[in-house]
């Protein structure tokens, strides 16, 4: 009943260098490996989560060369030389960021599995708002976006939270955006 060819090609391997949270790593990887699996399995950085592996949930969001991306949709081999920041790299010297504090203060998390992605995404939202990048919720794309709830909700909508902590997430991002 299965019509898959039996002689699938052998794994193809490649060497890459990644800087993750400030540390450089030289890695031998399978060309099929996603950036997410490379972080989690090869580097033991399990902060970025695997929720769907198809770019539909946002749990794997990391900052790649300063921009948020879904690590499950990035081939590790394609990012030789890249600079990656995961949730583990947000706080410096054990000091929480404004966002991390606001997430705790507003209970913007429950089970916590989407939280690393939410935080990386929210970190990028603050940056994107600061650079005047419009979103679908920006009334006039030519004008400076205002960090109101509509903007924040729209910009955070790539990160699903099944526990339903959205109300807290929006409150936390709003507070951090206005701090």
Partner 1 sequence: MIPASFDYVRPESVDEALEALTDAGEDAKIIAGGQSLMPLLRMRLAMPDTLIDLDRLDSLRDVRDDGDAIVIGALATHHRVLRDPLVRAHAPLLVRATAKVADPAVRHRGTFGGALAHADPASDLPAVAVALDAELLARSARGERRIPAADFFVDWMTSALEPDELLTGIRVPKPGEGWGVHYEKFHRTAQAWAIVGVACAVRRDDGRVGDARVALTNMGPVPVRCRAVEEALAGGAAIRDAAELAAEGTEPPSDLDGSAEYRTHLAAVLTARALAAAAAV
Partner 2 sequence: MTDRLEGWEKVTGAARYAYEYPLENVAYLAAVQATVARGEILAVDAEAALGMPGVLAVLSGGNAPRLAPVDDGELAVLQSRRVAYRGQFVAAVIAETPETAAEAARHVRVEYAPEAADVLLRADHEGLYAPEKVNGGFPADTESGDPDAAFAASAVRVDATYTTPAEHNNPMEPHTTVALWEDDGTLVLYDSNQGPSAVQSTLAEVFGLEPAQVRVISEHVGGGFGSKGTPRPNVVLAAMAARVTGRPVKFAVPRRQMWATTGYRTPTIQRVRLGAGLDGRLDAVIHEVVAQTSAVREFAEQAAVPARMMYRAANRRTRHRIVRLDVPSPSWMRAPGETPGMFALESAMDELAVLTGVDPVELRVRNDAPEDPESGLPFSSRNLVACLREGAARFGWDARDPRPGVRREGRTLLGTGVAAATYPASTRPGEAVARAEPDGTFTVRVAAADIGTGARTALAVIAADALKTDLGKVRMEIGDSRLPRAVVAGGSAGTSSWGTAVVRACEALLVRLNGEIPPEGVEARASTADEVRSRQKYARHAFGAHFAEVAVDLDTGEVRVPRMLGVFAAGRIINPKAARSQFVGGMTMGIGMALLEESIMDEAFGDHVNRDLAQYHVPTCADIRKIDAVWVPEADPHLNPMGAKGIGEIGIVGAAAAIANAVHHATGARFRDLPITPARVLAEL
Give contact residues for partner 1 (rule: CB under 8 A).
Answer: 8-12, 14, 31-32, 34, 53-55, 58, 61, 64, 67-70, 72-75, 77-78, 121, 124-125, 128, 131-136, 138, 141-142, 153-155, 157-159
| In the complex, minimum distance from the CB of residue 25 to partner 1, in angstroms, rounded to a whole number | 19
| In the complex, minimum distance from the CB of residue 105 to partner 1, in angstroms, rounded to a whole number | 24
- 134 near partner 2, rule: CB under 8 A: no
- 78 near partner 2, rule: CB under 8 A: no
**Which of residues 112, 130, 132, 139 is near partner 2 by CB under 8 A?**
112
- 64 near partner 2, rule: CB under 8 A: no
Q: Which residues does residue 167 pair with via DSSP β-bridges, in sequence order?
A: none
Number of helices (H) and strands (E), helices first, in the chain? Answer: 5, 5
Q: Which helix (H) or strand (E) holds 90?
A: none
- 28 near partner 2, rule: CB under 8 A: no
**Placement of tokens 């081939």 in the chain:** 75
Sign of CA dihedral 112, 155, 46, 91: negative
Pairing status of strand 83-85 against strand 13-20: parallel
Of 61, 63, 30, 57, give the one whose Cα is nearest residue 48.
Answer: 61
| In the complex, minimum distance from the CB of residue 145 to partner 2, in angstroms, rounded to a whole number | 15
The tokens for 135 are 């979103």
**Which of residues 14, 73, 127, 154 is near partner 2 by CB under 8 A?**
154
- 129 near partner 2, rule: CB under 8 A: no
Q: Which helix (H) or strand (E) holds 159?
A: none
Distance CA 15, CA 78 (A): 11
Residue number with CB closer to partner 1 (73 or 91): 73
Distance CA 167, CA 157 (A): 12
Of 161, 30, 155, 71, give the one whose Cα is nearest residue 108.
Answer: 161
**Interaction site with partner 2 (CB under 8 A):** 1-2, 4, 6-8, 10-11, 30, 32-33, 37, 40-41, 44-54, 56-57, 59, 86-88, 90-91, 96, 100, 103-105, 107, 109-116, 119, 137, 150, 152-154, 156-170
């Amino acid at each position: 009943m299965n019509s898959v060819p039996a002689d699938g090609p052998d794994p193809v391997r490649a060497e890459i260098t990644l800087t993750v949270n400030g540390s450089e790593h030289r890695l031998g990887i399978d060309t099929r490996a996603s950036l997410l699996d490379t972080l989690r399995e090869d580097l033991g950085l399990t902060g970025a989560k695997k929720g769907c592996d198809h770019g539909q949930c946002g749990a794997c969001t990391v900052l790649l060369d300063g921009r948020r991306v879904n690590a499950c949709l990035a081939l590790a081999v394609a990012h030789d030389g890249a600079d990656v920041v995961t949730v583990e790299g947000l706080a410096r010297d054990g000091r929480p960021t404004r966002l991390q504090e606001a997430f705790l203060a507003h209970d913007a998390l429950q089970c916590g599995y989407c939280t690393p992605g939410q935080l990386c995404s929210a970190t990028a939202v603050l940056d994107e708002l600061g650079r005047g990048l419009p979103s679908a919720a920006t009334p006039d794309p030519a004008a400076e976006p205002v960090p109101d709830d509509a903007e924040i909700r729209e910009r955070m909508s790539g990160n699903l939270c099944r526990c339903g902590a959205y109300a807290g997430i929006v409150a936390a991002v709003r507070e951090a955006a206005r701090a």
